[in-house]
Amino acid sequence: MALPPYVGPLGRTWHYGFRVACGLIFLFLIAPILVIIPLSFNAQPYFTFTHDMLALKASAFSLRWYQDIVGNPQWLHSIKNSFIVGTSATALATSLGTVAALGLSRSHMPYRSAVMGLLISPMIVPVIITAAAMFFFYSGIGLAQTYLGLILAHTALGTPFVVITVTATLVGFDHSLTRAAAMLGATPTRTFFKVTMPLILPGVISGALFAFVTSFDEVVVVIFLAGFEQRTIPRQMWAGIREQISPTILAVATLLIGFSIILMTALELLRRRNERLRGIHP
């Protein structure tokens, strides 16, 4: 966007200098990710660039580490576990978080601030403390090293994201719509699914995506609660770094980067759709 003609030399210097500074900060943040991607195609079992890679020789690049993912039962088992635990925890967190947000949006709800603080506490308390507490609690009731225990733990970590996003969506919600539906004879259930849910759906989906990413990337809770059969992708990557360093980890990381980009793109599209529904134009 061109600068207005009245902007002086100092204003132009600040304008372009600010953009250069932002670009350098962005490069600093994304540089480690950019390095991982080409290293995942290294033909040699190294975590560094070889001389042939720097010379851009075709023989220096290979898909052997991506093929190792497909051919390794442990990686396939971890991928399956991550999606099973992630989708199950996301479904529970989305349901519980949406119900909680609807209750918190009511002005007459007692102790609303205290309940909100309690619900988002998993985001504030260090994960290592939460994981240790969950381990002792779940061990006492027999849920440690089980899929159910791991799903419930990830649900507790993902619910705050759903609560926050849905609550933010409900801030500008027009409750006269639900009252109008009730006056026309609609039951509370029909009002929720026909009136409320379509309007808050972008916030619900955004919260669900955040909950899924939280579950998919979590490693500390998995280390405490999961056994060998419940290993997820981050836990398998952690074990690979400690036990057998292999560029397969870089290949998995590259796939996760691509997966994260897809999820963030979906979130941005949902955000823009939510703005259009609210009549907000950037």
**Structural domain boundaries of the chain?**
1-30, 73-278
Q: Provide CB contacts within 8 A for 75, sequence distance 6+.
A: 68, 69, 233, 236, 248, 252
User: What is the DSSP secondary structure assignment for residue 196, as one 8-state letter?
Assistant: I
DSSP string, 256-269: HHHHHHHHHHHHHH
Which CATH superfamily does the domain covering 73-278 fall into?
MetI-like (1.10.3720.10)
User: What is the DSSP secondary structure assignment for residue 279, as one 8-state letter?
Assistant: T
Q: Tell me how far apart the alpha carbons of residues 73 and 6 are, in angstroms, rounded to a whole number.
A: 65
State mean pLDDT over 99-111. Answer: 83
Residue 282 predicted with pLDDT over 60: no
Residue 281 predicted with pLDDT over 80: no
- pTM for this one? 0.80
Band (pLDDT 50/70/90 cuts) for residue 193 is: confident
Residue range 239-257, pLDDT digits in tens? 877 766 778 888 888 888 8
Element (DSSP H or E) covering residue 5: none
Phi, then psi, of 214 in degrees rounded to 5: -60, -45
State mean pLDDT over 50-59. Answer: 83
Which pLDDT score is estimated for 95?
Answer: 92
